[in-house]
Structure 1
């Protein structure tokens, strides 16, 4: 399903207006180059329809995280590195993702990671 007419920037600029010329002219900002949650969800639908289940799940989580500040994403990335977080710390991250950011899929992913890390002795004490 190719529907570039449905793709817009976070500010609502149509994809057809996202050009190098517009960027050079200052009509676009770095935020205009970010994917919107809606676009990521549509991409997930396409991936799922094509049988690309894992890609679809990744895109759904990306849609949840599109509005999360970059600093928070980097903190979460660090927390998910082996031996960086305890099971309780990862559970707090999962609760924060659900409560503050309405990201239940990503919270489930963090809980799954905590269980896998526990089984492989990769949790911090």
Structure 2
């Protein structure tokens, strides 16, 4: 993530106008590199048009500087999620639906987010959701394991 910028303030917003020097595509191209000529020549790929984790982190810094803590946290989570494959993001979305996961499944998801993707902020949100779901009786119930029939044993 971006570490060379220690503090952004409201005067830096919007970054594309006031701090374009900080913005890079996921492949490292600058805003000036994103031209129609570059698209036509094939120098720009779809990966160049995605937002980078660093840009999301910078947007989070701007939100925090403006006193918008929840928006800043959302940008931080979004920054972390750029490293998570799309199918895993969809699985997480489904797992976080009320009554879709047990406490153990949500705990496993949080651990996977931390251990596999270094997504500590996302993991904290999953753990918080598990606590809220438990308090509101919105966790899936563990199904009892049926004993094996004699012919299966």
Which structure features the higher share of helix residues? 1
- Structure 1 gap segments, 5+ residues each: none
Moved over 4 A (4+): none
Separation of aligned partners in 1, 2:111 and 2:76 = 18
Question: Whose Rg is larger?
Answer: 2
- Partner residue, 2:103: 87
- Partner residue, 2:119: 103
- Partner residue, 1:27: 43
1:11 aligns with 2:27: yes
* Correspondence list, 1:53-64, <5 A: 53-64=69-80
TM-score (norm 2): 0.76
Q: Superposition RMSD on alpha carbons, in Å?
A: 1.4
SS at match of 1:121: coil
TM-score (norm 1): 0.92
1:40 aligns with 2:27: no
Q: Once the 2 structures are TM-superposed, how far is the Cα of residue 115 of structure 1 from its aligned partner?
A: 0.8
Number of aligned residues: 125
CA 30–94 in structure 1, closer or farther in 2 if over 3 Å, else same: same
* Correspondence list, 1:62-77, <5 A: 62-77=78-93
